[in-house]
Amino acid sequence: MTKGTTKITDTTIKAALKTDKRSLYDARRVEFHINAARTGGTFYDVVYKGKKRQRTKLAKWPAVTAKTLFAELPAIRANALADREASLTVSAFQTGGEVLMWYMQHIDADKTYSSDYVSTSSSYIGNHLLSQLDQVRLNDIDKPLLYKQLYMPMQSDYALSTIKGVLGTLKTAFTRAHETRPHCQQPHQKHYA
Q: What are the boundaries of each domain within the chain?
A: 10-83, 90-183
Kindly report the average pLDDT of the chain as a whole number. 80
Give the list of residues 6+ apart from residue 193 with CB closer than 8 angstroms, or none: 143, 146, 151, 167, 170, 171
Of 22-31, 81-90, 159-168, the range with the lowest mean pLDDT is 81-90
Whether 138 contacts 184, CB under 8 Å: no
Asked whether the beta carbons of 8 and 24 are under 8 A apart, the reply is yes
Task: Select the CATH number that applies to the domain covering 90-183 from these four: 1.25.40, 1.10.10, 1.10.540, 1.10.150.
Answer: 1.10.150
Place 129 in a pLDDT band, splitting at 50, 70 and 90: very high
CATH of domain 10-83: 3.30.160.390
pLDDT in tens, 133-147: 888 888 888 889 999
Answer left, alpha or beta for residue 35, where phi above 0 means left and psi between -120 and 50 means alpha: beta
Q: How many CA atoms lie within 13 A of 34 on its CB side?
A: 22
Quote the CA–CA distance of 62 and 13 in Å, as a whole number.
10
Q: What share of the chain has pLDDT > 90, as a percent?
A: 23
* Topology alike, domains 10-83 and 90-183: no
Say if residue 152's pLDDT is above 80: yes
CA nearest to 94, candidates 167, 183, 168, 170 = 183
The CA distance from 156 to 131, in Å, is 17
